[in-house]
Amino acid sequence: MIRKVAAVVVPGVAPFELGVAYEVFGIDRTDTGGPAFDFTLCAPEPGPVMTKGGFPVVVEHGLEALEDADLVVAVAYGIDEDDEDVLTPAYLDGLRRAHERGAWLFAICSGAFALARAGLLDGRRCTTHWMYTERLAREVPTADVDPDALYVADGRVLTSAGTAAGIDAALYLVRSEVGADAARAVARRMVVPPQREGGQAQFVVDPLPREGESLAALLAWMREHLADEQAVPWLARRAALSERTFARRFRQETGTTPGAWLARQRVARAQELLESTEAPVDEIARLCGFGSAPVLRHHFARQLGTSPVAYRRRFAAPLAS
Q: Which stretch of DSSP H or E encloses residue 126? A: strand 125-126
Separation in Å, CA 183 to CA 25, 51, 145, 149, 268:
11, 29, 26, 20, 11
Sign of CA dihedral 94, 70, 110, 80: negative
**Where are the domain boundaries for CATH 3.40.50.880 in the chain?**
4-190
Lowest mean pLDDT among 33-37, 38-42, 77-81, 243-247: 77-81
Q: In whole angstroms, what is the distance from residue 193 CA to residue 316 CA?
A: 22
Per-residue confidence (pLDDT) for residue 321, from 0 to 100: 45
Residue 127 near residue 159 (C-beta atoms within 8 A): yes
Nearest to 239 by CA among 200, 252, 227: 252
Torsions phi, psi for 55 (to 5 deg): -120, 155
**Where are the domain boundaries for CATH 1.10.10.60 in the chain?**
213-321
Model confidence at 201, pLDDT cuts 50, 70, 90, reads very low
Residue 150 near residue 198 (C-beta atoms within 8 A): yes
Look at 21 and 303; give whichever has higher pLDDT: 21
Q: Using one digit for the tens of pLDDT, what is the confidence trace for 98-150? A: 999 999 999 999 999 999 999 999 999 999 998 999 999 999 999 999 888 88
Q: Using one digit for the tens of pLDDT, what is the confidence trace for 9-29? A: 999 999 999 999 999 999 999
Phi-psi region of 158 (alpha: psi -120 to 50; beta: other; left: phi over 0): beta
Model confidence at 56, pLDDT cuts 50, 70, 90, reads very high
The CATH superfamily holding the domain 4-190 is Class I glutamine amidotransferase (GATase) domain (3.40.50.880)
Q: Which fold has domain 213-321?
A: Arc Repressor Mutant, subunit A (1.10.10)
Q: In whole angstroms, what is the distance from residue 294 CA to residue 282 CA?
A: 9
